[in-house]
Structure 1
Amino acid sequence: MSALHLPLRCLAWLGRQGTRAVAVSALVGLFLPPLSALFRPFVEEAIFLLLVLAFLRVDPAAVTAYLRAPRLVAPAGVWMLLAVPVATALALTTTGVAAAYPELAMAAFLVTAAPPVMSAPAFVALIGLDGALALALVCATMLAAPLTAPLIAGLLLGDTLPVDAGGLALRLAGLLAASAAVAAILRRVFGARRIVAARTHIDGLNVALLFVFAVAVMDGVAESFLARPLLTLGIGALTFAVALTQMAVTFLVFRPAGSDRAFVLAHATGNRNMGLLVAALGGTLPDLAWLYFGLGQLPIYLLPWILKPLADRALAGAPERANENPAPRTGSEPDG
């Protein structure tokens, strides 16, 4: 046991660093291109293990309770997985952008057809809002994504889709089912009490995997900046613009439900789990789409802090709901 004491302490310390450690990971990926190239082949495996840990941290009973009243979750899921990507697909196809720039169409597919990042409830809690709605939305959209993503892929990508729509659905469903099954087995073997007691260690593993993921997806970003600085800066700015646009429109659409709830839904819609679709596509993307994928992690890491003053205003606008149905803790790190 003494041989494991130091590694376990290191994992626990790493888990307590949370988002700070992950933010540093993204910067490391930018400044250490050889390390990014080394980790890139393991993106798919890292995403799978991240999903396992995410399912392991979620309380199944709490999720069931949240989904029993889907009056807001259902329309929010339809908005996120169908309305937003279909509108995007129509805009890009009717203007000819999808046909002329298929790599941009692939990036648009990743950033509109994916469910929210698994850490959305944790980010919502970090900025002071109730994460229960975010947790329910994550679970519902994860289940629906294997059905909706192939439809959007057909609209946006057409013949350029690396796999057929049925294959994408099977891969996505298989990825989710396998990761959920592994998490269920671990929960049964170790027991819920031990898992809760080891939460900081699990978070440490999560941070370590997110380090691999964040560094891997930055492969090519530094080279692209040196070779094409204006294009790289433009793609980086575009990732923030797309995230903020999705958030702003979603907030306006759901504002009648309350500014606090609208902000939670807006945050979830603007921060998508692109890594899930990348894994379903086999971990390979065209160069420009991969560049968007890599730079697209930056808004996920930074926007919760940038937008916290707006979240505080939303919370102040609905104080009577601020402490309703507190969500179970699901970790504090971003992913995918």
Structure 2
Amino acid sequence: MGALSVLLASIGNRASIILALSLPLCAYLPASVSKVLLPYMSFIIIGLITLAMIRVDLARVLGHLKNPVSLVLFLVGLMFVFPLSVDWIARYFSLAAPIHIGLVLAACAPPLGSAPNLAYLLKLDGELVFNITLAGTAIIPLTAPWVIGMTLGDQMTFDQWALFQKLLITVGSSFLLAFVVRKVLGRERIKRSSTQLDGVSTLIMVLFVATAMAGVSEIIENDPFYMVLLLIVVTIANFGSQFFFSIIGLFIRRIGHLFRSVGSMQTESILSFSMVAGNRNLGLVAAVIPIAFLQEILPFLALYQVPIYLTPLLGGLFYGYLLKRKK
């Protein structure tokens, strides 16, 4: 057990590099790997959410909920205003249908299930990110059908009940597993094992990227120009969202006398909102759309993982710089 603990700690300490390297390596895995792992995608997502719930400080979670104004405002912007804006931009630039659909679905999606784990890696507010992720996931059955109807119209049918069931099973199972593990390990042992938990989280995230990226190299060989274009689009969409929300959030905080609830927020909280804005759980939404549309946006879904897995590395530099400036 000692050797395993050391190994997991070593992986956790190198999480940013490992996640970045997993992208090109997994892309060159045969497509059969993705086909084998795809049926287990729900379990992978449950594992990521469970890890986040194990580590979360419940006292801080409840503390955030005592002043929910900022959380509500951000969710409105995240789940309603932002997708409508993305749709307008896609139409303005006359983007191809697969790119248009992929961008809108990503903007409609709840925050990434592993977003709290990313927040811990980036030294941000994991408890706040957990609240955003949970709330965003809870309201997605209500928000996504309306937003998709407003943006994509008759291009796509959307099974709201299937999505609701999937989210309920995923979140419910994660809560149950996390509750059991927290009881078995205890709060102090969990705190002492933070680096090892980073290691476990990293391994599960690599498993996820293997599921999404395996076989991508074959698509790149068939149409390299389109794949490069997709990579540029998803990178701008992710990091552009993070940068935009960071600047806007810090600006609003500076004029906080107009927005008292936001003006009193800590820098970590504002940057946590920003990180979540760019990192969405597109896999959950993609799982319930018609198979024809899923196949059409599959390259988008695969390459969408690239900026997510680069967030610990590049985001670490960006958020680290902003966090140092506050001191």
What TM-score, normalized to structure 1?
0.77
Q: Distance in 2 between matches of 1:68 and 1:265?
A: 17
Q: Distance in 1 between matches of 2:300 and 2:12?
A: 28
Residue aligning to 1:331: none
Q: Any gaps of 5 or more consecutive residues in structure 1?
A: 320-336
What's the offset of the Cα at 1:132? 5.7
What's the offset of the Cα at 1:107? 1.2
In the alignment of these two chains, the number of paired residues is: 313
Indicate yes or no: 2:105 matched with 1:110. yes
Residue aligning to 2:48: 50
Alpha carbons 1:53, 1:183 under 8 Å: kept = yes
What's the offset of the Cα at 1:229? 0.4
Residue aligning to 2:145: 150
RMSD value over aligned CA atoms?
A: 3.3
Q: Distance in 1 between matches of 2:93 and 2:324?
A: 44
Q: Distance in 1 between matches of 2:69 and 2:308?
A: 27
Q: Distance in 2 between matches of 1:316 and 1:208?
A: 29
Residue aligning to 1:266: 274
Alpha carbons 1:240, 1:296 under 8 Å: kept = yes
Indicate yes or no: 2:38 matched with 1:30. no
Going from structure 1 to structure 2, the CA distance change for 1:179 and 1:160 (only over 3 Å counts) comes to farther
Going from structure 1 to structure 2, the CA distance change for 1:153 and 1:49 (only over 3 Å counts) comes to farther
Residue aligning to 2:263: none
Alpha carbons 1:122, 1:131 under 8 Å: kept = yes
Q: 2:180 aligns with which of 173, 180, 185?
A: 185
Alpha carbons 2:19, 2:202 under 8 Å: kept = yes
Residue aligning to 1:39: 37
Indicate yes or no: 2:232 matched with 1:237. yes
What's the offset of the Cα at 1:193? 3.4
What's the offset of the Cα at 1:277? 2.9
Indicate yes or no: 2:235 matched with 1:257. no
Percent of paired sites with the same residue: 25
Q: Any gaps of 5 or more consecutive residues in structure 2?
A: 255-265
Residue aligning to 1:18: 15
- The one-letter code matched in structure 2 to 1:31 is Y
What's the offset of the Cα at 1:232? 0.7
- The one-letter code matched in structure 1 to 2:27 is L
Q: Distance in 2 between matches of 1:195 and 1:52?
A: 13
Indicate yes or no: 2:67 matched with 1:69. yes
- The one-letter code matched in structure 2 to 1:76 is F
Residue aligning to 1:275: 283
Going from structure 1 to structure 2, the CA distance change for 1:37 and 1:265 (only over 3 Å counts) comes to same
Going from structure 1 to structure 2, the CA distance change for 1:154 and 1:173 (only over 3 Å counts) comes to farther
- The one-letter code matched in structure 1 to 2:284 is L
Could you say what secondary structure the match of 2:69 adopts? coil
Could you say what secondary structure the match of 1:286 adopts? helix
What's the offset of the Cα at 1:151? 2.6
Going from structure 1 to structure 2, the CA distance change for 1:156 and 1:173 (only over 3 Å counts) comes to farther
Residue aligning to 1:296: 304
Alpha carbons 1:116, 1:271 under 8 Å: kept = yes
Residue aligning to 1:80: 78
Could you say what secondary structure the match of 1:117 adopts? coil
Residue aligning to 1:205: 200
What TM-score, normalized to structure 2?
0.79
Q: 1:227 aligns with which of 219, 222, 233?
A: 222
What's the offset of the Cα at 1:74? 1.9
Per-residue CA distance 1:86-109 (angstroms, 9 max, x = gap): 2334555x67969x72x3344123
Alpha carbons 1:25, 1:211 under 8 Å: kept = yes
Going from structure 1 to structure 2, the CA distance change for 1:42 and 1:127 (only over 3 Å counts) comes to closer
What's the offset of the Cα at 1:211? 1.7
> What does 1:130-141 align with in structure 2 at a 5 Å threshold?
133-141=128-136
Going from structure 1 to structure 2, the CA distance change for 1:267 and 1:43 (only over 3 Å counts) comes to same
Out of 213-222 and 110-119, give the one that drifted further.
Answer: 110-119
What's the offset of the Cα at 1:111? 1.7
What's the offset of the Cα at 1:191? 3.1
Per-residue CA distance 1:220-240 (angstroms, 9 max, x = gap): 311111010001111011101
Q: Distance in 1 between matches of 2:196 and 2:324?
A: 35
- The one-letter code matched in structure 1 to 2:51 is L
Residue aligning to 1:171: 166
Indicate yes or no: 2:245 matched with 1:247. no
